[in-house]
Chains A and B, each alone.
Chain A
Amino acid sequence: MRSKTAGPFWVTVDLFFRNGELFRRYRDAPALGAELFERLYGTDPQLVKRQPVDNLNMIKISFPRPKPQGWMGERDMHGGQLYTRLLDVEIG
């Protein structure tokens, strides 16, 4: 799992699955839906983008940063640690 800014206004999270079977099981899981990202990051759920990348057993999820990169209260300029909020999420 990794996260990074995709330009100053978006965050992109890549979820890599160990094998094709696990990937296919969670590829379209509702537990990884927009509401999760709204809850964890305060982002607009209508703008959350989810794209499976089949040949890499990976799901890419992107969402707008609630505040732009570098704002006065910035704690993670490049979004490198934003993914950790997902670590405790049960996806079934």
Chain B
Amino acid sequence: MTQTHRASGEVVVLVPTGMLGAGIRREHVRYGIAAGAHAIAADSGSTDSGPSYLARGVSKMNRESIKRDLDILMDVASRAKIPLLIGTCGTSGTDSGVDWTRDIAIEVARELGITPKIACLYSEQTAVDLASRNRQGKIAPLPPMGPVSNEVLESCEHIVALMGPEPYIAALQAGADIILGGRTTDTAVLAAVPLLNGAGAGPAWHAAKVAECGGQCTVNPRLGGVLMRVGKDAFDIEPLDPANQCSPESVSAHMLYESSDPYRLTEPGGLLDVTKADYQSLNARVTRVTGSRWEPMPYTMKLEGARGGDFQTIMIMGIEDPEVLAHLDEFHDTLQRVLTDRIKTTFGDEASSFDLSLRFYGWNGTSGRPVPAGTPAPRDVGVMFVVTAPTQDLANRMAKACNPYFFHTPLRLGIELPSYAFPFTPAEMPRGQVYEFLLNHVVHTRDGFELVRTNWTDLAQTTRGVPASA
């Protein structure tokens, strides 16, 4: 049975990595345990990698990486008799992501010969349920979006709500050894244990924000995770690696990372305000932060939803011909026209909705913006052809039809047909589906539990090796 309370002025949380599966080092975790960690907490997900993981409900990290990291963490947590919390399982935090992670954890537990009590927290939502809340005016847009229609909700493959710490705290109070959460705010997973154990809310949330990307708040981000010690009015943050440091600069700069507001961060149930935070070096490796404030607010949970759209096929070729390179804008327009005509002629009605994009790397491929007049010609250009169509098969066939024209179109008519440089044959490469995030909205709830489901798997209560699930 895991101890969740200790008589101590500080709550110590070991954050071994910014992303489960990234490769945790055992010596880092041992250091944190020796330093008196009350819990291990880590994030397993991100929206950073794009919408495809949420739309498909699959993990970005492969099974081996997750299992390897869980093996280390579960072994250490079990020996130290402290809880292990993992948030946003399976990259996007869908129900399937949680279950996938749970199945890996059960396998690891069997191999380690341990029988932890596992709580699974689910925050995936249905379009039907959200449509009902939408009708009650409980779903509000965040800029730059407008109000969401129920049709948009229905078109999402998966929708998740970002959990706060409350379900984690409840699971700990009910005796969980391991908590595997669906989509959760990065900070909530780390703030849960300090909040449960009487740490100040401002320091708990701020420490969690700083620590959530693991080594990103340190001077040398490649050297692993951090240890957070949270008290009533302050928190200390230090790297797990003896060669690394958390300086006041590296710690304060982290609030800037990937956020549009450096001082105020909205979380479920409140707002973290670090406008008056003060960062001091405690010693060469450790920074102490005071002045973090938490303002409780009516409970809201942010929604994320994604869907898969059309399909793309690409071709790439290189051009060194100096005449073409001296007239790239003209060449682009000619090629665009020729290929568009080719598609319309070949496919007729089937070409009712397609998009053709030609990107000239070495010229303006990265931005797609007009090039200032008088810009000298490059020596070499890579042309990427991207066709987007409702099915992969159609996109492939359109690319095939364009292939000889893409390869042979001259700068102007009347010139001998050129051949550009294809690195591969066949040249057409099916690239897959386009995914997009559709929601940037919040739902108002009573509390942190209304949209969350909890399931238990207690490996100590097994019948002939089959875990009891509730």
A contact set with B: CB distance below 8 Å: 4-10, 12, 14, 44, 47, 49, 51, 53, 55-56, 58, 60, 62, 64, 68-73, 75-78, 81, 84-85
Q: Which residues of A contact B369 (CB under 8 A)?
A: 85
- CB–CB A75/B365 < 8 A: yes
- CB–CB A70/B435 < 8 A: yes
Contact with A along B75-103 (1 / 0, CB 8 A): 00000000000000000000000000000
- CB–CB B366/A72 < 8 A: no
- Quick check: is B146 within 8 A (CB to CB) of the other chain? no
- Quick check: is B352 within 8 A (CB to CB) of the other chain? no
- Quick check: is B47 within 8 A (CB to CB) of the other chain? yes
Q: How far is the CA of A51 from the CA of B263 in the complex (A)?
A: 9
- CB–CB A68/B436 < 8 A: yes
Q: Which residues of B contact A55 (CB under 8 A)?
A: 252
- CB–CB B437/A6 < 8 A: no
State which of A5, A56, A81 has its C-beta within 8 Å of the C-beta of B252: A56
Q: Which residues of A contact B143 (CB under 8 A)?
A: 47, 64
Q: How far is the CA of A21 from the CA of B359 in the complex (A)?
A: 41
Q: Which residues of B contact A78 (CB under 8 A)?
A: 48
Q: How many residues of B contact A (CB 8 A)?
A: 36
Q: How far is the CA of A62 from the CA of B256 in the complex (A)?
A: 11
State which of B144, B253, B309 has its C-beta within 8 Å of the C-beta of A44: B144
* CB within 8 Å for A81 and B366 given contacts A53-B262, A72-B309, A72-B310: yes
Q: Which residues of B contact A58 (CB under 8 A)?
A: 256
Question: How far does the Cβ of A4 sit from chain B's closest Cβ, in whole Å?
Answer: 6
Q: Which residues of B contact A75 (CB under 8 A)?
A: 359, 365-368
* CB within 8 Å for A69 and B51 given contacts A14-B256, A56-B249, A64-B144: yes
30 residue pairs bridging A and B, Cβ less than 8 Å apart: A6-B258, A6-B259, A7-B260, A8-B437, A10-B260, A12-B259, A12-B260, A14-B256, A44-B144, A47-B143, A47-B144, A49-B261, A51-B262, A53-B256, A53-B262, A56-B249, A56-B252, A56-B253, A60-B261, A60-B262, A64-B143, A68-B437, A69-B50, A70-B51, A70-B435, A73-B357, A75-B368, A76-B367, A78-B48, A84-B367
B contact set with A: CB distance below 8 Å: 47-48, 50-52, 143-145, 249, 252-253, 256-263, 309-310, 312, 355, 357, 359, 365-369, 388, 434-437, 440
* CB within 8 Å for A71 and B48 given contacts A44-B144, A60-B262: no
- CB–CB A71/B261 < 8 A: no
Q: Which residues of B contact A44 (CB under 8 A)?
A: 144
Question: How far does the Cβ of B145 sit from chain A's closest Cβ, in whole Å?
Answer: 7
- CB–CB B47/A8 < 8 A: yes
Q: Which residues of A contact B252 (CB under 8 A)?
A: 55-56
- CB–CB A73/B258 < 8 A: no
Question: How far does the Cβ of A12 sit from chain B's closest Cβ, in whole Å?
Answer: 5
Known: A8-B440, A75-B366. 19 other contacts (CB 8 A): A5-B48, A6-B258, A7-B258, A8-B51, A8-B437, A47-B143, A47-B144, A55-B252, A56-B249, A60-B256, A60-B261, A60-B262, A62-B261, A71-B436, A73-B355, A73-B357, A75-B359, A75-B368, A84-B367
Q: How far is the CA of A56 from the CA of B312 in the complex (A)?
A: 43
For B309, B388, B437, the residue with the greatest tally of chain A CB atoms inside 10 Å of its CB is B437
Q: Which residues of A contact B312 (CB under 8 A)?
A: 72
Q: How far is the CA of A84 from the CA of B309 in the complex (A)?
A: 30
- CB–CB B259/A70 < 8 A: no
- CB–CB B437/A70 < 8 A: yes
Q: How far is the CA of A51 from the CA of B274 in the complex (A)?
A: 14
For B52, B357, B436, the residue with the greatest tally of chain A CB atoms inside 10 Å of its CB is B436
A-B CB proximity, top 8 nearest? A62-B260, A64-B144, A8-B437, A6-B260, A72-B388, A9-B440, A70-B50, A10-B260
Q: How far is the CA of A60 from the CA of B255 in the complex (A)?
A: 11
Q: Which residues of A contact B52 (CB under 8 A)?
A: 70
Q: Which residues of A contact B357 (CB under 8 A)?
A: 72-73
Q: Which residues of B contact A68 (CB under 8 A)?
A: 436-437
Q: How far is the CA of A76 from the CA of B361 in the complex (A)?
A: 13
State which of B50, B145, B365 has its C-beta within 8 Å of the C-beta of A77: B50
Question: How far does the Cβ of B246 sit from chain A's closest Cβ, in whole Å?
Answer: 16
B259's closest neighbor in chain A, by CB? A6
Q: How far is the CA of A64 from the CA of B141 in the complex (A)?
A: 14
B144's closest neighbor in chain A, by CB? A64
Question: How far does the Cβ of A38 sit from chain B's closest Cβ, in whole Å?
Answer: 13
A61's closest neighbor in chain B, by CB? B260
Q: Which residues of A contact B388 (CB under 8 A)?
A: 72
Q: Which residues of B contact A62 (CB under 8 A)?
A: 260-261
